[in-house]
Amino acid sequence: DTEVTQTPKHLVMGMTNKKSLKCEQHMGHRAMYWYKQKAKKPPELMFVYSYEKLSINESVPSRFSPECPNSSLLNLHLHALQPEDSALYLCASSQASRGRGYGYTFGSGTRLTVV
């Protein structure tokens, strides 16, 4: 299995809703990432988990709450979002190593619309 699977593919939520995005990989990668991508813009790094511990938080608002329950699964919990949070949310994974030669595998993303 060489894929990163993200669910759901599309999500519409109200500003008072609570929802979660899910990301799964079975490649044995011990680093997992959340990116946010607005239309016509490059992906922006949000969070990095290494060996199931949060290692990077790029000053993301607390209405986004990541969770890494095990080495294969990464969640992003959403609460009280704003319309400007509408975007494509991408998950990625990679080897967690001091070596920088490893590539990243990205999922296809969850298209989120906040209404």
Q: Could you tell me if 35 and 64 are in contact, meaning their C-beta atoms sit under 8 angstroms apart? A: no
Question: CA of 69: how far to CAs of 54, 65, 72, 76, 92, in Å?
Answer: 11, 13, 8, 11, 16
Cβ 80 to another protein shortest distance, Å: 26
Contact positions with another protein (CB under 8 A) in 4-63? 4, 31, 33, 41-45, 48, 50, 55-56
Query: CA-CA distance, 14 to 26, in Å (whole number)?
Result: 32
Q: Is 108 in the site for another protein (CB under 8 A)?
A: yes
Segment contacting another protein by CB under 8 A, of 12-20, 61-69, 75-83, 99-107: 99-107
Q: Summarize as ranges the residues that interact with another protein (CB under 8 A).
A: 4, 31, 33, 41-45, 48, 50, 55-56, 90, 92, 94, 96-109
